[in-house]
Amino acid sequence: MTQGTIKTIRDDKGFGFIKPDEGSQDVFFHSSSVEGGTTFDSLREGQRVQFTSGTDPRNPGRTRAEHVQLIEDDSSY
């Protein structure tokens, strides 16, 4: 899975963008792509996530993040 940081969240529209760690272009994600016990409403800009890359069905030339999961911050334990 690819890892990255949430760059932008549009709560009112139900989508956001992730900045991948490898420095590639920001990746779109839809609220329906969030899983693993995390809800879209609980995500915040700056949080670390992991995801798989897929093709956006509405725009075949654009990459879309799928299976978006929050990476737990274990530094507080």
Low-confidence ranges of the chain (pLDDT < 50): 75-77
Q: What is the pLDDT of residues 10-26, one digit of tens each?
A: 999 999 999 999 988 99
Produce one character per residue of 42-54: b if its CB has 16 or more CB atoms within 10 Å, e if not.
Answer: ebeeeeebbbeee
3-state SS, residue 13? coil
- Token pair in block for residue 2: 């690819």
What pLDDT is attached to residue 73?
65
pLDDT-above-90 percentage for the chain? 71
Q: Whole-angstrom Cα distance, residue 31 to residue 10? A: 10
Half-sphere exposure of 6 (CA within 13 A, CB side): 24
pLDDT at 2: 94
Question: How much is the pLDDT for 60?
Answer: 81
Distance in angstroms (rounded) separating the CA atoms of residues 61 and 56: 7
Q: Which fold has domain 2-76?
A: OB fold (Dihydrolipoamide Acetyltransferase, E2P) (2.40.50)
